[in-house]
Amino acid sequence: MRRRDLFLTAVPALLHAQEKARNNGPATIRAVEMIRVEGRRKTEAGDAKGQHQVNPLHVYAEHRPAEYHERTKAAGEAKATALYLRITTNEGPEGLYGPIDLEAAIVVHQQLRPFLIGKDALAGETLWDKMYRSNRHSRASLFMMAISAVDNALWDLRGRYYSTPVYRLLGGPTRKEIDVYGSCLGHSVEPDKMRIIATELKKQGYGLQKWFMPVGPGDGAAGLRKNVEMVKLLREAVGPDADLMFDAFMGWDYNYAIQWAKQVEQYRPRWIEEPFHVDKLESFANLRRATSIPVATGEHFYGRFEAMRYLAAGAISVVQADPEWCGGVSELMKICHIASSYDAHVIPHGHSVHASMHVIAAQSPMTCPLLEYLISKMSSYYFFEKWDPKPVNGKLTLPETPGFGIVLDEAKIEKRSVATWG
């Protein structure tokens, strides 16, 4: 379609949206509800538990799990439950977002719900700022996660109000499809099985893969060798042209990370992710200066201010802020703008897909080149939704449905209730 034809097609839709806004006026928030849905889903035969990853507590012997060996289980059924945030207005439009983490849902219900009633749902920037200013603990953790949930639901509401996908409200799309990388959390890292899995995933279109380090300093020299050999084996399995990333989930210290990095630089990892606790900015900065391997972190950033400190210190090359946790779509957009001035990539943490996908779609591929797709988690994460975003040949096609396109599948819901706490 020619540009003139696109313009002529877009004008009626824009005029309709403007007329709708004039007729309806502000969309006043009437209710903020956590909808709990329950049902049962089929489970596939396979790994009974899933490979553990190193975490900060594993420095203590009594908290360090035994060496992993894969165990199989038969196919069957499992109970499924999820929380979705629904915001309704007096004028009709509503917003839906989820699944929502339980700890964030409680804060939304107890703290933000009363504050939001009667506010203009279309005044997104004002609402975000007011929520942020409403509580002394808002700058981080569970309160910021709650702000994120509300912000994302309000973006869905505005998309439905204007009958357009969120990424169009954000200025996109910059492309029709988004490249994804396969995140292999839970997959076996037993050498023979890992080689088979990595090779098969590449055939499925996952030419970019992230694997999770199973051990850390508490496992001594033998553990370090295991982590180095893991990188070597994966490089041999996927070949020289695939991208490999590695996640240490805050389970290492600086000396350990340096030893590992020096030995695996020859295998060209695309990044090492979150080797230290996020409080240790200097360790990130020192590691980035000491190795050619790019350094990534950010899933535990709570807002643009933390991202800015890391970028200004030259501590990271990849910002992994999560729109479920960092302040929602509104804040992730600001983080993208800051990161672009440092020529850093923003590749959001893949706790979910909906919000990340729409932000990425509205940014330059130079700033947001990839989307993280947690292969095991996402196989059932959107069980209750009619549209389950799944990549094909390593790419995710953008939806054209209003908002985020979240529609619950009533056929899968055995019980629905409004969740309350306190």
Provide the residue count of the chain: 422
pLDDT value of position 84: 98
- Superfamily per CATH, domain 167-410: Enolase-like C-terminal domain (3.20.20.120)
Higher per-residue pLDDT: 140 or 84: 84
Residue 77 binned pLDDT confidence (cut-offs 50, 70, 90) = confident
CB atoms < 10 A from the CB of 418, how many?
11
| Confidence band for 21, pLDDT divided at 50, 70 and 90 | low
Peptide linkage before 99 cis (omega within 30 of 0): yes
| pLDDT attached to residue 25 | 62
Q: Label residue 124 by pLDDT band (50, 70, 90).
A: very high
Start-to-end CA distance of the chain, whole Å, equals 55
Q: Is the pLDDT of residue 14 over 50?
A: no
Output the pLDDT for position 52: 79
CA dist 39 and 412 (Å) reads 6
Residue whose entry in the numeric block shows the structure tokens 């992710």: 273
What proportion of the chain, given as a percentage, has pLDDT over 70? Answer: 92
Q: DSSP character for 111?
A: I
320 or 13, which is more confident: 320
pLDDT for res 39: 97
Question: According to the model, what pLDDT value does residue 345 have?
Answer: 98
Helices 141-161, 3-24: inter-axial angle, 10-degree rounding: 110
Query: Which pLDDT does position 3 carry in this prediction?
Result: 37
What pLDDT, on the 0 to 100 scale, is given for residue 172? 87
pTM greater than 0.85? yes
Is there a contact between 247 and 234 (Cβ–Cβ < 8 Å)? no
**What is the spatial distance between Cα 336 and Cα 170, in angstroms, rounded to a whole number?**
12
Mean pLDDT of the chain: 92
Does a cis peptide bond (omega within 30 degrees of 0) precede residue 93? no
pLDDT beyond 90 at 114: yes
Cα(408)–Cα(283) distance, integer angstroms: 44
SS3 76: strand
pLDDT in tens, 138-186: 999 999 999 999 999 999 999 999 999 999 999 989 999 999 999 999 9
Helix (H, G, I), strand (E, B) or coil at 327: coil
Contacts of residue 343, defined as CB under 8 A and 6 or more positions apart, other chains included, come to: none
Give the position of tokens 């295998």.
267
Q: Give tens-digit pLDDT for 204-240.
A: 999 999 999 999 999 999 999 999 999 999 999 999 9
Rounded mean pLDDT of 25-40? 93
Amino acid occupying residue 7: F
pLDDT per position as a tens digit, 255-311: 999 999 999 999 999 999 999 999 999 999 999 999 999 999 999 999 999 999 999
> Stretch 71-82: mean pLDDT, rounded?
83
The 10s digit of each residue's pLDDT in 382-420 is 999 999 999 999 999 999 999 999 999 999 999 999 999
pLDDT digits (tens, 9 = 90+) for 354-388: 999 999 999 999 999 999 999 999 999 999 999 99
